[in-house]
A and B are shown apart, each in its own frame.
Chain A
Amino acid sequence: MKHLIVAGRRIELDKDGYLLALADWSAPVAEALAQQEQLTLSDEHWQILHLLRAFYAEFQLSPANRPLIKYVALKLGPEKGNSLHLNLLFKGAPAKLAAKLAGLPKPTNCL
């Protein structure tokens, strides 16, 4: 079983590296997940991660790319809610990678 050790706590991951328990998420866990992806989280990243968690709280599912872009545009405006910005932040796979870093399940409607 994959796992991370964050601040002495063992955090279980699924085979694709997503958190098994949503409640395990915290800022240090997000940093550790990002490190595994060779990514350093900037304010821009955090803004999207917090928004994704709000999306999940509202709809109880992880968005595919299109709805993610739409939702970000709705909440933060079109400068942030466009595929170029999100692709640059999340290595070309915003729905999958941002969901992983935000501690959400893997998006199911996203090939």
Chain B
Amino acid sequence: MATLHVLSHSPFTDSRLSSCLRLLGPADGLLLCGDAVYALQPGSAQCQALDLMPDGIGLFALDEDLGARALTAPARIQVVDYPGFVELSCRFDKVNSWL
């Protein structure tokens, strides 16, 4: 059962992102929102790691949170708005929020 993992903490202050990346199944998805979008900071190791994720894994980032932080998502990341967030939550079998 494919899982959508939702992260909202900065990858520079704790290990949620690195742990999550190791636990992604082949059909899982990862949605970055809040400070988790800092993982897309250009030139960061986190951004590189995301870029190298296998194609089967859906990578998403919330548009509003990117905009607020003046970040632009690389091509590998699909940018979604809030309705897109809801649609994703329904598309996957379950959602795992990393609180």
Q: Do chains A and B make direct contact within the complex (CB under 8 angstroms)?
A: no
Which residue numbers of A lie inside 8 Å of B, CB to CB? Answer: none
Which residue numbers of B lie inside 8 Å of A, CB to CB? Answer: none
